[in-house]
Amino acid sequence: MPEINAKRIVGHSASKMFALVADVEQYPAFLPLCESLKVRGRKRRGDGCEILVADMTVAYKLIRETFTTKVTLDEARNEILVEYLDGPVSELENRWAFKVVSDTSCEVSFHLIYEFKSKIFASVMGAVFDRAFRKFADAFEERANQVYAST
């Protein structure tokens, strides 16, 4: 099963990076392969975490697939968990953690595991998805540099 791990120090606060990754509606503007993202619903749990259910459509040439995920935004712990609900994979889990380094920097940890349901789809699209997923951390850092350039 493919697994991607990235950890890096970025020149933005943990709270800013958390907010950037939590702003899922903006993903189509900068995230590789993300054609659209629609939030189906939001609710706040008693522990303060916000839960989203979202559909993300990824596209490459003529292929389009939609993934439905449950996103848990734990702002108090600076963590985001994305869990698979429906789509072309049999498993998908994505974890983000933002650890304070200083007032103006943080360590961003990105972890993703996934497995396609279809071996045919995996053989056709596996390398494309793997390359795109490996660029996710870079895409978010570049987006943060754009969004927070003047702050």
Is residue 17 pLDDT above 90, yes or no? yes
Closest CA to 110 of 86, 89, 91, 134: 134
pLDDT of residue 125: 67
Say whether pTM exceeds 0.85: yes
- Element spanning 99, H or E: strand 89-102
Among the four given CATH numbers 3.30.530.20, 2.40.50.1020, 3.40.50.300, 3.40.50.1370, the one describing domain 3-147: 3.30.530.20
**Model confidence pLDDT, tens digit, residues 77-136:** 999 999 999 988 888 899 999 999 999 999 999 998 988 887 776 776 667 777 777 677
Question: If pLDDT is split at 50, 70 and 90, which confidence band does 33 have?
Answer: confident
Average pLDDT over the chain, rounded to whole? 90
What are the residue ranges spanned by the domains of the chain? 3-147
pLDDT of residue 45: 95
CB burial of residue 29 (10 Å; 0-12, 13-18, 19+): exposed
Residues 6+ away with beta carbon under 8 Å from 7: 107, 108, 109, 110
**Model confidence pLDDT, tens digit, residues 21-32:** 999 999 999 998
